[in-house]
Amino acid sequence: ETDSGLDIDALKVVAKGVNSMRSDSRGFLVITHYQRLLDYIKPDHVHVMADGQIVKSGGAELALELEESGYDFLKTA
């Protein structure tokens, strides 16, 4: 998890580094459980995994929905 154990200052440094390397020819897999990281690294795609499988995919709005509603809504999806 990219943000595991990082305080806000370190998180900003990591995000700046990731953002500086973004390009159309490069992809990143960023794993997090928290919206806080996504305030600094804007995802093009969001995938939710459960039991080793992708159970839901979407854009940045999916991360916001998870932050607001938690993961319970996926159990009925």
Entry pTM: 0.78
33 three-state secondary structure: coil
What are the start-end ranges of the E strands in the chain?
Answer: 46-50, 53-58
Q: Is 80 exceeded by the pLDDT of residue 5?
A: yes
Q: Examine the pLDDT at 13 and tell me if it is beyond 80.
A: yes
Q: Give yes or no for residue 76 having a pLDDT over 70.
A: no
Which phi and psi (to 5°) does residue 53 adopt?
Answer: -125, 145
The full set of domain ranges for the chain reads 1-42, 43-77
Question: Under a CB-based contact definition with an 8 Å cutoff, are residues 41 and 30 in contact?
Answer: yes
Pick 75 or 32 by higher pLDDT: 32
Reply yes or no on whether the pLDDT at 77 is more than 80: no
DSSP category for residue 26: B
pLDDT-derived band at 21, boundaries 50, 70, 90: very high
